[in-house]
Amino acid sequence: MPRQETLTSSDSDSENEKRIKAKLKKETSRKRKADGPSKGSAPKRVPPPTTNTASTSGEEEKISLGKMKFVTVRPFKNMIFVDIREHYEKDGELKPGKKGISLQAEQWQRLKQSIDMIDEKIQQLC
């Protein structure tokens, strides 16, 4: 007897993510064609973060880190948080997912002060 597959919410999320990635890939390839051929084999650079004006219910501005990850700065209970979180698409809207972290302003400052040490560790591992 053939086995029936059941879709879970994570299956549908991954399908949405695949569709969005395909759309972004298509847009990126169009931009590359418009810019012309690249010269030589330049070192791979990380593109600067972009802001996404697609708003959520609270009209928050999101800064894209790529691969459906965004940074949002928002107030909550009289405190400021830097929220770094994966998002998913549902009904044509980007929604924040469970995977992520919210840093208080003080924690964000400590992270920024640690950037040089983090970069050194990354270089050691590369």
Q: Provide the pLDDT for residue 54.
A: 47
pLDDT digits (tens, 9 = 90+) for 10-39: 445 566 666 766 766 666 555 555 555 444
Question: Quick one: the chain helix, strand, coil %, rounded to 5?
Answer: 35, 30, 30
At 91, which amino acid appears?
Answer: D
Q: Provide the pLDDT for residue 10.
A: 47
Q: Provide the pLDDT for residue 47.
A: 58
Q: Provide the pLDDT for residue 68.
A: 94
Q: Provide the pLDDT for residue 60.
A: 75
Q: Provide the pLDDT for residue 23.
A: 64
Q: Give DSSP secondary structure letters for 60-82.
A: --EEEEETTEEEEEEEETTEEEE
For the entire predicted model, the pTM comes to 0.54
Q: What are the domain boundaries of the chain?
A: 9-35+48-125
Burial 4-37 (b: 16+ CB within 10 A, else e): eeeeeeeeebeeebeebeeeeeeeeeeeeeeeee
Q: Which fold has domain 9-35+48-125?
A: Transcriptional Co-activator pc4; Chain A (2.30.31)
Positions of the chain with pLDDT lower than 70, given as ranges: 1-18, 20-21, 23-59
